[in-house]
Amino acid sequence: MTNTIEEALAKPPFSKRVADLATSSVNFAKRRPLGVFGGVVILAVVFIAITADFIAPYDFMEPVPKDRLQGPTSAHIFGTDDMGRDTFSRVLYGTRLSLLVGIGAVGVGIIHGALWGLACGYIGGWFDTVVQRVMDAIMSIPMLLMAMVVVTALGSGLQNVILALGFVLTPIAARVVRNEVLTAKQNMYVDAAHALGANGMRVAFRHILPNITAPILVLITINLGQSIIAEAMLSFLGLGPDEPSWGQMLSGAGRQYMMVSPWIALFPGLAITLTVLAFNLLGDALRDEFDPRLRDSN
């Protein structure tokens, strides 16, 4: 009897787990091909951000006056800007900064929002009411306008842009996590944990939080794209970081020479569009996969 229980509780062999993972991945690809496309594009963007130093053909900061405002050629496949810098190299390096802003903003916003949402959903009462009214007040102001206010107060710069975008994402994450916690609190495993003497902190972080990771993952993927767009808007308005990002390339020379040299703004704009589309496709696919109601309807 003991051996039977031990065998039932034992983990399957590593080879079987790999095979199961491969089967699940193939099934996911069949059900959500657009989500897989988004995931592949995101992996490519991450690869470019990591290896930009090695694959960029030119120095993204070195001006070459004699090559200024050249159209796409074999030497400069994306053309050059008003200072003769290679647009292709700048787009590659811009990938790194735009992705860094997106990941940083989502990290700040989701972590803080998840903690507030977990506390509100678990504690409830007057604490929940007060915090939710504050979150509602923040969400009542348009995201870009609130980010502009925060950046103006803190000053421009990479860290301040990340903090500003993370601040406006916090109430969104807090509301989503709070709703999930209110649902998870009704499950029997929470009652069992209380009956066994677990304190509130342990129940919240050990039993509730791990069971609501799916919506948090979806929230992360969707808001990564939104953060990249928001950073581009701030940079276009002159409030973004000084380093070359896609948004910063759209402002300045991109805006000034858009009519005579459209490639300066075209390629950074396409990079933003493709990356944001990829994050949205992956986020939608994960949402449909994790939500039983949407999964069963497809």
Mean pLDDT of 209-224: 82
**Within a domain: residue 103?**
yes
**Within a domain: residue 131?**
yes
Instruction: Enumerate residues 6+ apart whose C-beta is below 8 A from 92.
Output: 48, 52, 55, 56, 60
Condensed to tens digits (0 to 9), the pLDDT of residues 106-142 reads: 899 989 898 898 888 888 888 888 988 988 888 888 8
**Within a domain: residue 69?**
no
Q: How far apart are CA 149 and CA 234, in angstroms?
A: 11
> What's the token pair of residue 58?
């030119």
Q: How far apart are CA 165 and CA 228, in angstroms?
A: 10
**Within a domain: residue 73?**
no
**Within a domain: residue 185?**
yes
Range of the domain at 85: 30-58+78-297
| pLDDT of amino acid 4 | 45
CA-nearest of 93, 101, 255 to 85 is 93
Instruction: Enumerate residues 6+ apart whose C-beta is below 8 A from 187.
Output: 211
Residue 277: CATH number of its domain: 1.10.3720.10
**Within a domain: residue 94?**
yes
**Within a domain: residue 24?**
no
Neighbours of 103 (CB within 10 A): 17
| pLDDT of amino acid 55 | 85
| pLDDT of amino acid 8 | 43
| pLDDT of amino acid 6 | 45
Torsion of CA 61, 65, 69, 74, to 10 degrees: -80
Count of structural domains within the chain: 1
| pLDDT of amino acid 13 | 62
Global pTM?
A: 0.77
**Within a domain: residue 214?**
yes
Amino acid at position 174, single letter:
A
